[in-house]
Structure 1
């Protein structure tokens, strides 16, 4: 059976955190669903046959010799509503940056028209920079989060999208938080149902993600309920963990545990969890992450501004912790991984 598209060109693809494979002038055969059905190496016996068949059917796309094929980038940590302020006020401490700039901006996404405009541009820009899969923090607004999902579907990006939960009156502004734990959990449940329905009707690769913003922003009731929802629906979880001194100190003062232990207490560290930053993680935390098979979204640019430390990548890998990359828009100023 012939492929719908055959791309001829040299490609790089990773095989481990420290190794990659390079294939010169391979044939990447893509089927009618957009899936790579086969990669034909230049040394394969049927290389010429596959190339000639694709050329005869006008399905061959030959890259110039100064261009290369790369896998689509996977951005594990994007704050979608923060795109309009990328690069703004990165000299401020994290809590000031959130309360002065970020929370007021995110509150504007109650306007779904505004949200759609921003998200159309964001998804386009990420795709333009090679990001074909993104894990997104949304806002408190269900309709705006669905608008983000529709942009992913329309533009062909795989989206893992989170309905934000934050209800702690001691750590979040009255103008931008859920009124109660019940509201936070019910909105999350509605979002799960509606996003799964949208994915089914569009055929798009869309997945709801359980999303407590971080431990300080949520009451213990909400953290507990989100853990239950994640397990009941077998869903990914995303949050921040040990991002800064402030966040780590809050966990220790409030729960008398480290940030990672608090998340684990509420069943939020799983094999489907992605926790951003981790600059304050110690050896015990890394062992816990490895035991739970939880992934760290390493965000090197934003860590320079807000992390108060450098994430120990080599130490994490030695502990067998899964590590991926995140842009952390807008704590990171660039959409390019």
Structure 2
């Protein structure tokens, strides 16, 4: 009996141990599955966590929107009157076809301030800007002007002007004042009048110098020089002041036909501009006094090299305008040399800009004349 009871107890204990072991393994297995499931759930819920709380999600989105706005430039609000304001801000001379009037006396019209307060009149300003004079050039001319104001009156007189250019006051040299519409008996020269005289005369080409002499001695403005006018010119050009009076006298005799050279002597005794220019091209020595005067003016102001460059650019502008006339306003393409030069200087584009402005002004004048003809 005792043996049977012990066997039953032993078998009962084994069965209990198996039951406990089984329950623990089941618990461990189910526990691992739960743990893994929880980890999976938490991993899936992390990215969608902000979506659970819509209030927090909105708060998180606000800073992102502000950053995006900060990275983009803030555009100004559109103004309904923007076009009107732009039109008012543009200068009056932007369109050459507008505000054009041949009857306006630009000697009295104030400048646009292109050269600050140094240049006062529109006529002088347009002359200097049309030739490409810089602010540096105008300031240098102003210094020369002030240096020769010996009495510190603010303006130079004619005697000081001729002392500066190392010339005597004679009818030939005083003819320079006609370029600024200054009377011969006017005592003082303003800086604008000084600029008109110096800049115009210094940038004359040789043909323009010859034409200036022709206009100077064509007293009656008939377009031809008669015998008395030729005599007056010959006496002036043969002045002892100049270095080669004998050569000048020989050239003048050729013009008058005294040596039997009928090639340059007109039959009617009148020398028109074409005959005068033909003589000047063949005998430039006759005009040495006026050429020497230009040389002195250049040396006394900006220097020969600077004036030569300004004159060369002036000729380039005239060539471009002539090309635009033949090609209905088209501008020629840049050459390889011009493209290379434009890398180091803006002179090429400045020349083209002035040519376009001159051509536009020419077209505006033509339209203005046509409009007046149609009205009549």
Q: TM-score, normalised by structure 1?
A: 0.23
Higher helix share: 2
Structure number with bigger Rg: 2
